[in-house]
Amino acid sequence: MVSKSNPLKSLADLKAVQRNLAEQREREAAQAAAQAAAQKQRRADEDLFSRAIGATQPLRRKPSVVLAPEPPAPIPVQHQLDEQRVLKESLSDEFDVTTLLDADDAMSFRRPGVSTEVTRKLRKGDWSIQREIDLHGMRSDEAREALSAFVRSAHKQGLRCVRVVHGKGLGSPGRQPVLKTKAQRWLIQKNEVLAFVQAKPAEGGAGALVVLLIPTHR
């Protein structure tokens, strides 16, 4: 025998569902009210800030220029190599000195306009020799660069009188003073050199030159 549904129980279930729906609607309404209140408060805060600072304008950006990076500092080693190359190229072995050397017993040189009194005093030893360089045993290229650097350095230091020892050429093929002739050519091409004479016997004689440098302006 099938039992009939209890009408009281069905009515109770319906009321329970209605209560749940009502509670859910209340929660949703409360949540919506809270969101609306929060949004209203944010707008009020924004209005308050705007009234406090007044009217505003966007900042103007100044035009900017993209600067190229600074070039790297020159490498000292490369600078030295460049100097050596310039020295090698600037002093010629083919420079004709025959018209510039005085044809006396001791070969000498003086710049145009320099009195013969200068070479006479230089030969007498009126200037004290302050430094010397010995080119013995050097190859031609080595001697040229060494002599040029020596003269340049001595002039920068304010020295006036130096000695260049080139040898008499007794050990050269044919016993010819090759380095002596080249040293004269190189010295004549150096702007720092004012005059030079063959050294006195006690200072090297035919194997050396006493060189007078132009004064430095300090």
Handedness of CA 172, 173, 175, 178 (dihedral sign): negative
Asked if residue 111 and residue 196 are part of one domain, the reply reads yes
Whichever domain contains 155, its CATH number is 3.30.1370.110
Is residue 21 domain-resident?
yes
Structure tokens at 210: 């006493």
Is residue 71 domain-resident?
no
Q: What is the pLDDT of residue 23?
A: 85
At 2, the pLDDT band (50, 70, 90 cuts) reads very low
Domain count of the fold of the chain:
2
Asked if residue 30 and residue 110 are part of one domain, the reply reads no
Q: Give the three-state DSSP class for 132.
A: strand
Asked if residue 195 and residue 113 are part of one domain, the reply reads yes
Q: Which residues have a Cβ under 8 Å from the Cβ of 179 and sit 6 or more positions away?
A: 135, 138, 140, 143, 166, 167, 169, 172
Query: What tens digit of pLDDT does each residue of 17-71 get?
Result: 788 888 888 888 888 888 888 888 888 777 776 666 666 666 676 666 666 666 6
Is residue 148 domain-resident?
yes
- Write out the residue range of the structural domain in which residue 16 sits: 12-52
**18 or 154: which leads in pLDDT:** 154
Asked if residue 204 and residue 112 are part of one domain, the reply reads yes
Query: What tens digit of pLDDT does each residue of 108-118 get?
Result: 899 999 999 99
**Residues present in the chain in total:** 218
Asked if residue 39 and residue 147 are part of one domain, the reply reads no
Give percent of the chain with pLDDT exceeding 90: 39
Q: β-strand 101-102 against 108-110: which pairing, if any? A: antiparallel
Asked if residue 194 and residue 99 are part of one domain, the reply reads yes
97-101, 174-178, 200-204: least confidently modelled range:
97-101
Structure tokens at 76: 């000292």
